[in-house]
Structure 1
Amino acid sequence: MNDPERTMLLSVHPRFATAILAGTKTVEVRRQRVAAPPGTPVLLYATAPTMAIVGLARIASVRVASPREVWTASRTKAGISRREYDEYMSGAIQASGLSLEAPVAFDAPVPLASLRAAGPFHPPQSYRYLTKDSLRKVLVAAPDGGAALRDSLSELARA
């Protein structure tokens, strides 16, 4: 499924966004079940202090299992220490490991202020899927008129 209408908006700390876009972090972990098919485009929203959509990647696969099993499968790819992982997963019954591929960093990030100027916009606590209207607002808010973002989504759809 490479439908841009099923684009995921994923909130990550800036250091994780940087690592994902550099290709050194290829698995993003979440405390809840994530059901996204391979090929799903993922817009990366870097949280404070960056507060901008900084790039995108594509989901290669999702592993849903116990936190221990997800750690065992992704520890060298998750970009965090075991201590950080255990603190984050404390109390979780299941976890998801999102394997990401084809990262693309935007030359001009899409700042939160621009996103909000295009209409109501609230970054997700964890992730959410963008509606067609929300994705259009992101394209409008992009500094270059959305050309780089549109090109990236088109490239992912062709892959």
Structure 2
Amino acid sequence: MTAVLLSLRPRYARAILAGTKTAEVRRRFPHQPPGTTLYLYSSTPDRAVLGTAQLDVIDRPSADRVWTLYQDQIDIEKTALGEYLSDLEAAAILRINDVRRWRHPVPLRDLRLHLGIEAPQSFRYLTDEHIGLLETIRAREPLGLSYSVAGA
């Protein structure tokens, strides 16, 4: 199984989970096959994996065409997009589908404790062992602990 832990700012993670953002803009991203599972890690203040999405396809348009082609899918302001892509010739647009919000987010402390991994700055590959552990952790009911995601 091909899987990637994708780090997102909370605003964008929530937009993906709400269905208002159906494509993620990256300055660069390695080639991945359609169907790759994207584990959605929301950075500070959430610091947790909130759910998954499936990679449909990665488009690689010229940076100056991203707004024209994807403005209705990327949920980012034009000025911010221009600044983010300002020094690039091409961008990576991850078109996603089959988004699933988890009932119980998996906090960073569990990634560290049970998987032995840190949150990525952009992304990191997950092994089959990581995936199995992550799925086991997320499926369990919290043991009297409450955890909420900021702004959720």
TM tier, smaller: 0.7 to 0.9
Unaligned runs of 5+ in 2: 142-152
3-state SS of paired residue (1:48): coil
Which residue in the other structure is 2:103 paired with? 107
> In the alignment, what sits opposite 1:155?
none
Residue number in structure 2 paired with 1:78: 74
Structure 2 counterpart of 1:58, which letter? Q
Q: Distance in 2 between matches of 1:90 and 1:128?
A: 24
Partners of 1:63 and 1:96 within 8 A in 2: yes
5+ residue gaps, structure 1, are 146-159
Residues in 2 aligned to 1:78 and 1:32: alpha-carbon distance in whole angstroms: 16
Change (3 A) 1:119 1:33: closer
Contact in 1 for aligned 2:102/2:138 (Cα 8 Å): no
Following TM superposition, by how much is the alpha carbon of 1:136 offset from its aligned partner in structure 2, in angstroms? 2.8
Counterparts of 2:124 and 2:39, CA distance in 1: 10
Q: Specify the SS of the correspondent of 1:93.
A: coil
Q: State the alpha-carbon separation in 1 of the partners of residues 60 and 86 from structure 2.
A: 16
Number of equivalent positions: 141
Pair 1:17-2:13 in alignment = yes
2:126 paired with 1:130 = yes
**Which sits farther off after the overlay, 13-22 or 126-135?**
126-135
What is the aligned partner in structure 2 of residue 47 from structure 1?
A: 43
**Gap change, CA 1:144 and 1:138, over 3 Å in 2:** same
Q: Check whether the contact 2:10–2:44 (CA below 8 A) recurs between aligned residues.
A: yes
**Corresponding residue to 2:86 among 84, 87, 90:** 90
Alignment RMSD, CA only? 1.6
Q: Secondary structure at the match of 2:111?
A: helix
Give the superposition deviation at 1:71.
Answer: 2.6
Q: Deviations over 1:14-54 (max 9, x none)?
A: 11111101110001000014312221111100000000000
1:51-102 residue CA offsets vs partner (Å, 9 max, x unmatched): 0000111111110121112332111110001011011112122201111111
Q: Percent of counterpart pairs with the same letter?
A: 36
